[in-house]
Structure formats: structure tokens, C-alpha cells
Amino acid sequence: MLHHDPTSEAKLTKQNFDNFVDSFLWQVGAAGDSLKTKIGQLFDEAYAQGVFDKVFPGFSLMDGCDQGAVKHMEGDVLAHTKEVLLAVAERIANLSGPLREDRESKELLICAALIHDIEKPHTRKELDLGDVAFPGHEKKAGERVPKLGERIGLSTNQIDRLEWLVTHHGDFYGLDKLDLNQKREFYSHPDFELALLFYECDCQAFWMSSDGENRRIPATSQILAERENIIEKK
């Protein structure tokens, strides 16, 4: 009888995910006209092989998790996740400044894209007129990050950064619900600019029409103006 070694299996699982990340960043580095097509194929192949489910248990539950007929015309939660990843690929390919050479932040963006909505299947609530909400999915996903981060070999600092990105990715859509102190803390976070970039990718993956021609427009300029005003008053 063959001896089942869970440690070896975990190493293989991590290696498969590492290979996905390496291939993702290699394709982004090549940055050709077919970038989105190649990243889409890479995602589809990894998903079909069960790579994501092995490192992020429950990942496949996003497949078929309906987001309603009012918003998210791109499709179910898995379709949205893929669209966010494609947007992340395009943004990384066009980065400038310090982030361009910051592989760790790029990897965190990839991970955030994959797991930011992983708890939507467990928080789904149907509303009136075909709308759907996922209350608290950001916080619940963030709570899973420490264990998920360990599975892919993230350091404590990397886990902390990813947890913050995932937990607060929805804050951009509800800034009016934060008080002044909460906004000051949010705007002053070391990873705020990374979170803002991820928010823009999330908006790009938020289809307002079934053909994808109309996407949610990020309120970046208003957010940066308010941030500057609040931080100056600190």
C-alpha cells in the first residue's frame, strides 16, 4: 500500500499554484495584444485542473453562484473573478513607478483577485426585483486569508497585507458609511494605493451591460481628492 504523505501533497499543491503565478507574470511581462486571451486560457486551464480548489478550498462554489439580473452582467461570481484577474493582468502590464518592480505586490494582487469574493456563495441573499446582495462577504473572505495564505507559503507580513486588501475591497463602494476616523485610517494605510488599483480592476470587471461595453466607472478622482483633504487635516 502506498503511504499517503499530506506534506508532499501540500508541497505539490503549492507548486502548482506557484507555477500559475509564474506563468501569469511571464505572460504579463510579454504584454502582447493577446494578453487577455492568454491569461483567460491560463485561468481556465488551472481551474479545470483543480489548482484553485486545492489551494483555496471552496473556490469552485463561485461557479454558478448567480449575482442577479440587476448588476454584474458579466455572469456568476466565477465569471466576475476571472474578469477581475484579466483587469489585474492589464494593470500590471502597464504599471509604472515602484510598483512596476514590486513582485510581492503583484502576487498579492493576483491572490486578491482570486479570493476576494470567495465567500459570496455563503452570504448570498436575494432582494426585490431580481437583485442579489452578499452582505459581509468581504469580512468573511478576509477571515479566511491567514489559513489560505499559509497554504500558498505567504509570510506573516504578506498574509497581513492580503487580509487587509480582501477585507477592505468593498470599502470603496461605501465610503459614505465610514466616519472621519475610519476614513483617515483607511486612507492612511500603507497599502491604500494598491487597494485603489485593485478597486479599479474590480470596477472594470463589473459589467453594466451584457455585452461588457458599459463597465462600472471608478470614482478615483473623487476618492483621491477626499483622501488628500482628510490627510491634510490630520
Residue 210 is which amino acid? S
**Residues near 219 by beta carbon (within 8 Å), at least 6 away in sequence:** 172
CB 124 within 8 A of CB 64: no
Closest CA to 167 of 207, 104, 117: 117
Report d(CA 155, CA 134) in Å as an integer. 29
Beta bridge partners of 215: 207
Closest CA to 95 of 198, 22, 213, 168: 198
Return the percent helix, strand and coil in the chain, to nearest 5: 70, 5, 30
CA angle 81, 136, 203 (to 5 degrees): 35
Provide φ and ψ at 35, rounded to 5°: -55, -50
The model's pTM is 0.92
Coil, helix or strand at residue 125? strand
Q: What is the pLDDT of residue 6?
A: 40
With a cut of 50, list the residues of the chain below it in pLDDT.
Answer: 1-6
Q: What is the pLDDT of residue 4?
A: 33
With residue 87 as reference, give the H or E element that holds it. Answer: helix 77-93
pLDDT in tens, 168-189: 999 999 999 999 999 999 999 9
Q: What is the pLDDT of residue 212?
A: 67
Q: What is the pLDDT of residue 175?
A: 96
The residue with cell 494593470 is 91
Residue 86 is which amino acid? L
Closest CA to 137 of 159, 165, 110, 116: 116
Q: What is the pLDDT of residue 100?
A: 85
CB 75 within 8 A of CB 171: no
Q: What is the pLDDT of residue 215?
A: 79
Report CA-CA distances (Å) from 34 to 30, 39, 44, 88.
Answer: 10, 9, 15, 15
Max CA distance (Å), the chain: 69
Provide φ and ψ at 169, rounded to 5°: -65, -20
